[in-house]
Amino acid sequence: MGYRKENFAEGEFYHIYSRGNSKQNIFFDNFDRDRFVKLLYLCNSEKSIDFREDIVRPKIDAWDFDRGERLVSIGAWVMMNNHFHLYLMINPNINSRKQNTRKTVFRKVKKENEISEFMRKLLTSYSKYINTKYSRTGGLFEGRFKDIHMANDNQAKYLFSYIHLNPVKLINKNWKEQGIGDWKKAKGFLEDYQWSSYLDYKKVVRPENKIINREDFPDYFRDIKDFDAEIKDWLKFQEP
């Protein structure tokens, strides 16, 4: 699940997203959302991690688990009812180690690229959880995950705002076309919405801080005020 034959390029940024089969919900309560958030952290590892065996049975806090080397760097994320968005790249720190390994070890079979490996682990683990919990069968997600390569900084910066503004659709699905009206209320909603990396960029201290790797991405905003100004501008924007 989530496998892609083509390799993603190292050092490049990607918008990764997936939604429920036939646009069905993939998150049914906050326990489901909490599981997915923890899998965002745990599946981003070269290790093979079994949530039940490695976290539940030993009664370990998922955020304290030593996941080892990351597969990818995550710059932003958001979860909606029937889909999610990720802004990520291959972990740049993995490159030098891979190069050193290639000098001493001959690989007959090329390893699945890191982004595909991460997504396969994430979607498979979460699907198994949902199917077990709700006694369901069949695919949870609509085929393979989708990806868009970020061609330039402007596109990447737009994606960053797009991801963090996604939850506004929950209170006004047509806000881009009709305008948001009360932008302060919308901003307050974003600040109460815990299922995205918005709060991490607001420097709210929480376990989910461990998901993102800000140091590997361009610094789009000088400080929190600059970040707030960008969000405010988008909330006041109305498509012509």
Tell whether 28 is covered by a domain: yes
Distance in angstroms (rounded) separating the CA atoms of residues 21 and 26: 9
Instruction: Let me know if residue 6 belongs to a domain.
Output: no
Alpha carbons within 13 angstroms on the beta-carbon side of residue 25 total: 8
**Residue 8 domain-assigned (yes or no):** no
Give the closest residue to 122 by CA, choosing from 43, 195, 62, 54. 43
Q: Identify whether 9 is part of a domain.
A: no
CATH of residue 77's domain is 3.30.70.1290
Residue 166 structure tokens:
């996604």
At 76 the pLDDT is 97
Task: Report how many domains make up the chain.
Answer: 1
What global pTM score does this model have? 0.88
| Residue 1 maps to a domain | no
Determine the Cα–Cα distance for residues 28 and 134; give it in Å rounded to an integer. Answer: 10
Can you tell me the distance from the alpha carbon of 29 to that of 58, in angstroms, rounded to the nearest whole number? 25
In angstroms, the CA 227 to CA 206 distance is: 19
Low-confidence ranges of the chain (pLDDT < 50): 1-3, 100-110, 240
* pLDDT at 101 (0 to 100): 43
Residue 133 structural domain: 14-236
Q: Is the residue at 220 inside a domain?
A: yes
The reported pLDDT for the residue numbered 143 is 87
Question: What is the pLDDT at residue 108?
Answer: 34
Neighbouring CB atoms inside 10 A of 217's CB total: 18
User: What pLDDT is stored for residue 203 in this prediction?
Assistant: 92
> What tokens were used for 8?
């993603």
| Residue written as token pair 């997203």 | 17
Q: Is residue 5 part of a domain?
A: no
